[in-house]
C-alpha cells in the first residue's frame, strides 16, 4: 500500500514528517476524518519541501488524497490478492512520479492528455522495446515478487555471507553504469 511504500522510500524524511508534522497534528488519534486530513496536510507539506513549483504541490495533494482514501478503504481491501495490490500501487506511484518530474503544470497536462489520446509526448512505444529497458523492467518485475526471500531461504547461512554482499555490489555497480551512461539529468532539487 502507499503507506508502506512511502515508509520505505525515504525512511529519514518519512520519519521527520511523521514526528514533526503528523504527530503534532494529532496523528491517527482523533478519528478517521482527522487522520485523513492529517495525511493530506503532511503530503502537501512534503510536496512543498521538494520544491517551489505547483507540480510538487499537486504531487503532494495527489498522494495525500490517495493515502487518505486508502486509509478509509483499508478494511475492504484486505481480501484483494497481493499481486493486484502491488500492480495497482505501482500504477499509482508511477503516475505520481509523472506529476513530480514534470517541469510545470502545462507539461503535465500535456502528458496526462497523451495518456488518453494516444499521442506521444517525448517517447514512443519503441522506447520500451530497447534491450536495456526490457532488461530493467524484467529485473524490476522479478524483484517485486517474493523471489529473493524464496531463494535466500534455500541458501545455507555460510553461502549467504558471500552471496548477498556480492549480489548487492554487482547491482550497485550495474546501477552506476546505467546512470553514468544515460543522458544528462539535472539535480532534482536545483529548482528550489
Cβ atoms 119, 35 nearer than 8 A: no
- The reply to whether 50 belongs to the active site is yes
Distances (CA, A) of 57 to 72, 111, 118, 152, 186: 22, 17, 27, 41, 20
DSSP 105-124: HHHHHHHHHHHHH---SS--
Residue 123 and residue 125: Cα distance in Å, rounded?
7
Q: d(Cα 87, Cα 95) in Å, to the nearest integer?
A: 12
Of 50, 63, 71, 185, the catalytic one is 50
- Which among 125, 122, 115 is positioned nearest to 91, based on CA atoms? 115
Instruction: State the catalytic residues.
Output: 50
Amino acid at each position: 500500500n502507499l503507506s508502506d511504500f512511502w515508509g520505505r522510500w525515504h525512511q529519514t524524511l518519512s520519519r521527520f514528517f511523521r514526528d514533526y508534522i503528523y504527530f503534532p497534528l494529532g496523528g491517527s488519534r482523533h478519528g478517521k476524518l482527522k487522520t485523513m486530513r492529517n495525511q493530506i496536510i503532511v503530503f502537501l507539506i512534503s510536496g512543498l519541501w521538494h520544491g517551489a513549483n505547483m507540480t510538487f504541490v499537486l504531487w503532494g495533494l495527489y498522494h495525500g488524497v490517495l493515502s487518505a482514501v486508502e486509509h478509509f478503504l483499508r478494511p475492504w481491501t484486505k481480501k484483494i490478492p497481493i499481486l493486484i495490490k502491488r500492480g495497482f500501487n505501482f500504477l499509482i506511484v508511477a503516475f505520481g512520479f509523472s506529476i513530480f518530474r514534470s517541469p510545470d503544470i502545462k507539461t503535465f497536462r500535456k502528458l496526462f492528455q497523451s495518456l488518453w489520446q494516444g499521442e506521444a509526448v517525448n517517447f514512443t512505444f519503441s522506447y520500451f522495446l530497447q534491450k536495456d529497458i526490457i532488461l530493467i523492467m524484467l529485473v524490476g518485475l522479478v524483484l517485486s515478487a517474493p523471489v529473493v526471500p524464496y531463494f535466500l531461504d534455500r541458501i545455507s547461512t555460510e553461502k549467504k555471507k558471500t552471496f548477498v554482499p556480492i549480489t548487492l555490489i554487482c547491482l550497485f555497480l550495474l546501477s552506476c553504469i546505467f546512470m553514468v551512461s544515460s543522458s544528462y539529468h539535472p539535480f532534482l532539487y536545483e529548482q528550489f
